[in-house]
Amino acid sequence: MLLATGYWLLTTAAAVEIRVLEADTLEIRPISVPGGEATELLVITGSPVRMEVGGDAITAEYIEFDREARLMRIVGPGDVGFEGVTTQGRDYLLDVSSEELSVRDVVIFTEPIDIQGVQATRMPGQIDITAGAFSPCSRCDQEVQDYRFSADRLILYPGDRLVAYGVTVFVRELPSMVLPVMVVPLGPEDRRPRFSVSQGSATTRAEAALDWPYVLGADAFGTLSLRYYADVTPGASRGPTEGLLGGRVDESYLGGGFDGRFYTATGEGEFGVFYTPAFVDPFAPGGRTQDQLELTLGYSTQEALGGTQFEVLIERDDTLSPRILTYTARVGGSLGGPLAPFGVRYVTQGFFDLDPDDAVFTPSYRDPEGPLRTLSRVQVTQDDGVRFSVGPFTLSGLRLDAGAFEDFANPNNLSAQLSPVTLGGRAVVQHGRLLAGHTVELAPVVPFAGASLSGRTTFTGQYYTSQNTGGEFERLVDWNTSLTARQEFGVGSLELALRRNILEGETPFSFDARATPNNRTDLTSTFRFRPAAWFDLQLREVYVFEDARAIDAVGPGPLESRLTLFGNVNWLNVSLEHLYDFAEGDPGVLSGTLDVRTPEGFLELPVDARVRIDGAYDLDVTGDRVTGAPRNASEVGATLELGYLDLVRLDASSGYDWEALPGFDEGFDEDFGALARAAASPDLAPAQAQPQGVPRWRPLELGVSVGTLPAATGALGAEGGLGARVFYQRDLNVGRPEAVGFELAAPLGPVQLAAEQIFDFASRSDDSLFQLTWPGVAQLSGTGFRLLPPTLLGLTPDPRRATTYQLSLLDQTNPNAEVYELTYRTTYGPFSDPVSFEERLGFFNTSFVANIELLHSYLQTPVGPIGFGVDFLGQLLLADDALAVSYLSSSDLTLSVDVLSRVGLQGSLAYGATFDPSSGTFSQRALALNDFGLTVRVLDDLYVSALITDLWDFTGTRADASSPFNLQPILYVTLNRCCWALYGALDTRDGTLSLTVGYPGAGEGFFESAFETPLALPRRRPEGGF
């Protein structure tokens, strides 16, 4: 109740909102002011008192508020926060009406810096401080600050800058310099001053650059830029320009400009000018390059404020379109009154070619999707979401667009291409255009029970003042209409959807040209008949009345039929599908599926069974679409499964193809090849000379499963499960076995075993795979190893068939990432000797591949933790019957090591080698280093680094590489103090020295300079092999 009363008293006393958030007592005291007049003083006490006055957050112990004078006093200490600034001081006086504030013995906290003062006064947008002091090092843990400043007067512009007058600079508490005025930027990094100097050379130009942010009042800011360029001759001067600019100055140039943004109560604007001078260039026309000017002048109102919207923009950017000045103006708003749902906008956009004789003719607008010039354009559009309804009809998207444009002629419009006006060799036309568009929707109408009618039409018409070669005014119409009628009749439905899509006419302009004209009308009929839950018949057909792009498509399209029976039960499913092509007269193929299984819990029997038959019947054997030869596409396949208590399961599958295509197996391909050769006889008919296939049984597969395999596709890659499956495949066409194999899954303590092996009779080869998985530890997998010798089945493998053996060890300690993967691979079989080129039998292509990834790892040592990260991929080719030596063929290493936060090693290495067996030597060995180096933290704030980026050639065969152990590092020295930083870099490859004085941790600053020195180290070139 106390706080509520205080809140009412305060808010009625001033225009700004005053809220008491926390207080102990609130008292109204009558007092007499000088002159004898009586008034009331509101006294608020607490431990503490917390209040909000407008945008100010106040914390104190004792506050007095004069409601008549609208003055608030903080007696004793208090805090006031506003605009990202927090002040701590004593005896505040706040004028609630003007928001002016004064305080003594104040400390002002901003995000980048703290300021102390004897007295401070706040006015809108700035704070004046008397007898103040500040230091960027005040927040550092320094007993003696590196540097600080005291000033007779300071003006703080929150979030932008601090201006000090009568400044004394202290370095390590010693007075070192007196400055009449000093400006300290407080904005973000892109709003801080920058100064850099880059040395020139025989091929590059020296440059000195200064960027200085500025503020014009509370609502405008920008950056002033100055540039000095110089052509220099290195070594021709001993003066200061040699060390600063890199040589004797032969030619000097000045450039620069400014940019900025400003804000008003209704909008924002931008402005900027930047000039780049013409440089001496013997290869440029006239011996000099063209000077360049970038100009921007723009203003736009804020759309969110409503009302009339205004935008104007003038630009020139010689870097994109030299000597082209563009302009854009837009005015828009709501029509108001009864036409309030409509908006109107006027647009004009164009350009001036300031140099018609150059090779640039076209502008570079910010919005490139438009004509060369919009001479005048008025657009009236219906607001989004606004609709007009009359009965079931709804009108939306109304728009009217009238304008005059100049643009390149439409390349597909002959009359436009005849224009006598050209620009850059291309025809240019200038015409008027009227665009009208709308959308009409018909909501579903129910004329009688079960019937509904709905539709939609979208129209866009573009009408031009241009005429075609026949003298008719040109137009471009895009009109899409759809009308859907649907009739529900209890056991089914019939739906007719009529669509008409029209795109006709042509435009004289390029910017609004459309795709190839088209006129298509079609009717889609969909019929569904479902008299019972177990019966569902669906028919669909599209009849094309007209299609200008595909004349052959006119007429009835294919009839799609689908019949589903017993879809309401889980033990029986029958489906038939058919596609009949009326145009080709082909009745097509009738395909179907019969799927029968025992219902769940059927008579509580321990047996379950399933039969699935898939088939297709070619109703009329016609010519193949590609070859024209007849082919019967009929086929049938069947699968049978029988299980007992999920412990034992029998399965069988096979099928038959009336005319199978080649590719099933080697035996079939041989049979097909013989048929093809016989069909090539000239005595056979042409159709017989192009066989499409032969009748053929699919392999019969019989399988027996015991136990539970963990996945339907087999045991491999799954966890858990104890079971096995044995299967046998037989080629029914020739009456011989085709394949035999098994799958196995079993737990071995904490390890899960999964294995499979298949033996192919035709090729006399076997494929095998096993996995040993220890969840959370590792997985060992292998391929090529015979788990069961084929001789147990009386089978003899082909001794000359190559077999690849592989062992892989995969980490599984982290479910989200693999730490390592180690792979050994070799192949046994016939191979060509690389030296004698004779065929031999033995091991070849033997390798070991390691992939290790350890990121953010730590090793505890007696002296402290050592952090490291490794990302390694390497391949070691091992000696075998084909390779005489073992060697590292390739590797990639990315390394990072941190030793006690004092020594760091980081970078990337890539190694590659090629061995020539015929000569017994390496034809190539090279090591690429990318930012590989060492960093030492000498002191807490001092870092010294050396980084190498190079290519070392160990064979002396690459002209672009260096000799091994060529040391030309880039040396870095970083003094990163809490409140300032010095960065230095010496590139020993060319002797370039770079210095930067700036901000800690940023790597950049307000002063940057780079110049050449004689401190380059010689590069070691490869000479012969290594």
pLDDT digits (tens, 9 = 90+) for 683-737: 433 333 344 568 899 999 999 999 877 653 344 444 557 889 999 999 999 888 8
Quick check: helix, strand or coil at residue 674?
helix
Q: What is the pLDDT of residue 241?
A: 63
Among residues 527, 523, 525, 524, which one has the least CA distance to residue 493? Answer: 527
Q: What is the pLDDT of residue 218?
A: 65
Quick check: helix, strand or coil at residue 401?
strand
Residue 582 domain-assigned (yes or no)? no
Tens-digit pLDDT profile for residues 119-148: 999 987 789 999 999 988 888 878 888 888
Q: CB–CB of 519/502 below 8 Å? A: yes
Tens-digit pLDDT profile for residues 619-667: 888 766 656 677 788 999 999 999 988 789 999 999 999 987 665 444 4
Q: CB–CB of 894/854 below 8 Å? A: no
Tell me how far apart the alpha carbons of residues 25 and 62 are, in angstroms, rounded to a whole number. 10
Residue 732 domain-assigned (yes or no)? no
Tell me how far apart the alpha carbons of residues 435 and 462 are, in angstroms, rounded to a whole number. 4
Q: What 8-state DSSP symbol labels residue 403?
A: E
Domain with residue 47: its CATH number is: 2.60.450.10
Q: CB–CB of 937/930 below 8 Å? A: no
Residue 543 domain-assigned (yes or no)? no
Residue 25 domain-assigned (yes or no)? yes
N-term to C-term CA, the chain: 92
Bridge-based pairing of strands 126-134 and 694-708 is: unpaired
Quick check: helix, strand or coil at residue 790?
helix
Q: What is the pLDDT of residue 665?
A: 46
The residue segments making up the domain with residue 103 are 2-109
pTM for the model: 0.65
Q: Where does 801-936 have alpha helices with state H?
A: none
Q: What 8-state DSSP symbol labels residue 1020?
A: P
Total structural domains within the chain:
1
Identity of the residue numbered 1005: G
Q: What is the pLDDT of residue 688?
A: 38
Q: What is the pLDDT of residue 529?
A: 95
Residues in the chain: 1026
Number of C-beta neighbours around residue 864 at 10 A: 11
Phi, psi of 292 (to 5 degrees): -130, 140
Q: What is the pLDDT of residue 868?
A: 83
Q: CB–CB of 108/85 below 8 Å? A: yes
What H or E segment, with its residue span, contains residue 341? none
Q: Identify the burial level of 206 via C-beta atoms within 10 angstroms of its C-beta, where 0-12 means exposed, 13-18 middle and 19 or more buried.
A: buried
Residues in the chain where the model's pLDDT stays below 70: 1-15, 33-36, 217-218, 236-243, 336-340, 623-628, 661-693, 710-720, 999-1008, 1021-1026
List, in order, residues 6 or more apart from 80 with CB less than 8 Å away: 56, 57, 58, 59, 74, 86, 87, 92, 94, 101, 103
Residue 76 domain-assigned (yes or no)? yes
Give the Å distances, CA to CA, from 278 to 199, 255, 353, 361, 979: 19, 10, 20, 21, 41
Bridge-based pairing of strands 114-123 and 126-134 is: antiparallel
Long-range CB contacts for residues 834-842, cutoff 8 Å, separation at least 24 = 834/882, 834/883, 834/917, 834/918, 835/917, 835/918, 840/881, 840/882, 841/799, 841/800, 842/880, 842/881, 842/882
List 844's β-bridge partners, or say none: 827
Phi, psi of 250 (to 5 degrees): -95, -35
Residue 681 domain-assigned (yes or no)? no
Q: What is the pLDDT of residue 120?
A: 94
Among residues 595, 593, 585, which one has the least CA distance to residue 619? Answer: 585
Tens-digit pLDDT profile for residues 916-942: 888 888 888 999 999 899 999 988 888
Tell me how far apart the alpha carbons of residues 881 and 965 are, in angstroms, rounded to a whole number. 34
Residue 9 domain-assigned (yes or no)? yes
Quick check: helix, strand or coil at residue 3?
helix
Helices (H) and strands (E) in the chain, counts: 4, 56
Residue 596 domain-assigned (yes or no)? no
Q: Which two tokens stand for residue 857?
A: 């790892």
Number of C-beta neighbours around residue 345 at 10 A: 16
The angle at the Cα of 635, spanning 632 to 636, to the nearest 5 degrees, equals 160
